[in-house]
Structure 1
Amino acid sequence: MSKFRERFSHIRAQCESAAFRSDIRQLRDKFHGSPLVLYGAGDLGTRTAQWLFRSGIRPECFCDRSGSGIHGETALPIISPKDLLLHYKGANILICSIAHAHDIRQDLLLSGMSEERIFIVENLPIHAMMIEDFLPHVDGYEWAYDFFADDISKEIICNRVEGYLLSAPLQPSQGAEYFDRSAGVMLSSEEVFVDGGMFDGDTAMAFVRQTKGHFRHYYGFEIDDTNYGKAVQNLTGMEHMTLVQKGLWSGEAERHYRTNLSASSKLSESGDGVIQVTSLDQFFADLPDQPTLIKLDIEGAEKEALLGAEHMIKRALPKLAICAYHKPEDIYTLSQLLADYDVGYQFTLRHYSDNLLDTVLYAVQ
């Protein structure tokens, strides 16, 4: 049995234990008798709904600030916060957000919702995945465990499995996210930095600090109107910066995206906004600048963006810092894709939070 399979067998045993089943029974009792509304229809909300279905608990609907409709992955209705207050005043509310849980809870309390009926997914024995849902990924995770050479990366892979199935906390790395020297990222005054998923310019400002303002050029890509406006405001007056309100994809197209999700705005077939997307191959085809460092944090579109950057990666060999946590398969599919480009990269993983967010795949020469 491989080292990963041995570790996974221990995790699986915990998932199948009597204590684990007891937690599920207690959840059923907690939510019995009143409708259950999941606040947050993003990735965490989707995984939570699927886990609850598997556990015999059926939510009534999602509530989401981005608007109403039908949730694509679960077919549950999505209602607005206004409709939540009008029609579900006595419901149990399960907040499916990590970054915004406190703010959502405060808004609900100020709106008159009962404190006893507001729950946060992180505080309950609700896990990101059921063991049955993770089993199709075991071969991929075993491949990744063997693929990465360093012990830190191997431990992150195992810790993510424990996080998905047992809600175990993860150990953050000590380096600077996207610019981690322990992963081989060394910056120079000639950096051409591509920031995929610019948000409000926070990574741009971190890049300026890391380089002490000495760099060749910065290109930031962002799809959301609000985020883009904040980035323009925050980065006004900084030189050698180009801000682009487009998404990154495998080619030129027009795609829907979900708006008003702050840092989590993302391309989605069920989205309420429309945005132009481009590929890095096409964007940089006629520019004198060629990227030396690419960061991608684009809410699950990383693989498509890498497919659209293949020629540029093979030509310019930029350092890569790619978020590998939006989908369970990202750990192995993104690594496999870049390994297939066969350009001599060294690969490492680093993690920057105590939860399942912020795992970064680095590829450097």
Structure 2
Amino acid sequence: MDWKQLPFLWDRLQRSEKPVVIYGMGDGCEKIMRVCGEYRIPVAGIFASDEYVRGHSFLGYPVLRYDEAKQAFGSMIVLLAFAAFESGLVSKIKRIAVENELYAPDVPLFGGGLFERRYIKEHRAELEQVYALLADARSRQVFESVLAYKITGCIDYLLACETPKQEAFDQILRFGPEECYADLGAYDGDTVVEFVRVVNGAYRRIYALEPNPKNFSRLVRGCAGLPEVVSIQKGAWNREETLAFHAKAGRSSAILPGAAQSIEAAPVDDLIEEPLSYIKLDVEGAEREALEGCRRQILAYKPKLAISAYHRNEDLFALPLQISAMRADYRIYLRHHPYIPAWDTVYYMV
């Protein structure tokens, strides 16, 4: 794919004469509004799904229902400002996309920057290096599609490259009966329970790290009754340290300089002595540091890895290059599981 030929979303919005309307509220809407302001793209309004419209306003805009937005703006460009994976909601987004020009802007969850013209030019060599490292044709297709989505904001690229997680479990990770699994960013234990289901309850031990106190309590409850599960209330990091932490609801808690709360963090190499056979990292933008904290395990035992590649702009290329620099003998696969925007894009390494 020649990335130079793809139309950049923000260029398209600057040229358009259609009103630009944001679908959704919250952090996503605020981020998109900021980028629109930087590019001097006027935002005409905001609408939300009917069940969230209560006659209120957001960022100074009255929050409309979709039918009200259609009546007010006619033919419009819709910018999706929230994440969706549930089939009913995805179907609703697809219906809106049939009636309007719809994009899901790729704004990073953490850090700055956008996949715009200058950014791609600066990192083209790294992108091409990672592309050459990918182990199969599916990975290369996913890489091209995710990159095309990031450039254009067009969700069709994501929909075209989705695969279920089970394919990665069955065809790439191929667990054995004696896995020793470290779940970094274990949230409420849902991915621990998922792993236990996938291996039919046959494993050696599970270590589950979760720094958020509320989530950790849910993790302990969620894993109650599962044998050989060690829950650790720490964040995965590259050194032992007390870190400022923003404890949001759900999965979005993250290390954030200046935040009012704090957590204890440490390297996995210091916390877990026995050889690990599988490590999952979904640590809300701290993947680079967490991987460095797993260096001894990676060098000594070459555990299978599942690494979230969507929290920061650079994750798509920086994380596989980081692992390749540690051990050049990993086979690197990339999969995108059903999600809009490009969340749940994961590198699998074996």
* Inter-CA distance 97–223: structure 2 relative to 1 (3 Å threshold): farther
RMSD: 3.4
Match of 1:186, as an amino acid?
A: R
How many positions carry a matched residue from both structures? 303
User: 1:192-211 alignment to 2 at 5 Å?
Assistant: 192-211=180-199
Pick the aligned partner of 1:127 from 105, 122, 125: 105
Q: Is the 8 A contact 2:241 2:266 kept in 1?
A: yes
Q: Is the 8 A contact 1:314 1:343 kept in 2?
A: no
User: 1:74-89 alignment to 2 at 5 Å?
Assistant: none
Structure 2 counterpart of 1:149: 135
Structure 1 counterpart of 2:311: 326
CA deviation after TM superposition for structure 1 residue 353, in Å: 1.7
Structure 1 counterpart of 2:18: 26
CA deviation string 1:40-76 (max 9, x = no partner): 33xx5675245313431478xxxxxxxxxxxxxxxxx
CA deviation after TM superposition for structure 1 residue 300, in Å: 1.0
Q: Is the 8 A contact 2:185 2:209 kept in 1?
A: yes
CA deviation after TM superposition for structure 1 residue 9, in Å: 2.2
User: 1:343-362 alignment to 2 at 5 Å?
Assistant: 344-355=329-340, 356-362=342-348
Identical positions, percent: 24
Pick the aligned partner of 1:190 from 175, 178, 181: 178
Structure 2 counterpart of 1:238: 226
TM-score relative to the length of structure 1: 0.73
- Structure 1 window deviating more from structure 2 (162-171 vs 129-138): it is 129-138
User: 1:62-101 alignment to 2 at 5 Å?
Assistant: 90-91=61-62, 96-99=81-84
Q: Is the 8 A contact 2:13 2:41 kept in 1?
A: no
CA deviation string 1:299-345 (max 9, x = no partner): 11111111111112111211111111111211211111111112521
Structure 1 unpaired stretches of 5+: 32-36, 60-83, 103-121
User: 1:258-273 alignment to 2 at 5 Å?
Assistant: 258-273=246-261
Q: What is the alpha-carbon distance in structure 2 between the residues aligned to residue 245 and residue 272 of structure 1?
A: 18
Structure 1 counterpart of 2:166: 176
Structure 1 counterpart of 2:26: 40
Q: Equivalent residue of 1:205, what SS?
A: helix
- Structure 1 window deviating more from structure 2 (344-353 vs 165-174): it is 165-174
Q: What is the alpha-carbon distance in structure 2 between the residues aligned to residue 297 and residue 87 of structure 1?
A: 30
Match of 1:271, as an amino acid?
A: A
Pick the aligned partner of 2:266 from 274, 278, 281: 278
CA deviation string 1:180-214 (max 9, x = no partner): 2322x121221110001111111111111111111
CA deviation after TM superposition for structure 1 residue 274, in Å: 0.7
Structure 1 counterpart of 2:8: 15
* Inter-CA distance 99–243: structure 2 relative to 1 (3 Å threshold): farther
CA deviation after TM superposition for structure 1 residue 126, in Å: 5.3
CA deviation string 1:240-278 (max 9, x = no partner): 001111110101001112112311211111433210001
TM-score relative to the length of structure 2: 0.75
Larger RCO: 1 or 2 (CA < 8 Å, sep 6+): 2
Q: What is the alpha-carbon distance in structure 2 between the residues aligned to residue 88 and residue 347 of structure 1?
A: 43
Q: Is the 8 A contact 2:188 2:219 kept in 1?
A: yes
* Inter-CA distance 87–127: structure 2 relative to 1 (3 Å threshold): closer
Match status 1:160 vs 2:167: no
* Inter-CA distance 143–323: structure 2 relative to 1 (3 Å threshold): same
* Inter-CA distance 189–294: structure 2 relative to 1 (3 Å threshold): same
CA deviation after TM superposition for structure 1 residue 162, in Å: 1.8
Match of 1:218, as an amino acid?
A: I
Q: Is the 8 A contact 2:8 2:151 kept in 1?
A: yes
Structure 2 unpaired stretches of 5+: 44-54, 65-78, 88-99, 107-113
Match status 1:257 vs 2:245: yes
Q: What is the alpha-carbon distance in structure 1 between the residues aligned to residue 203 and residue 119 of structure 2?
A: 43
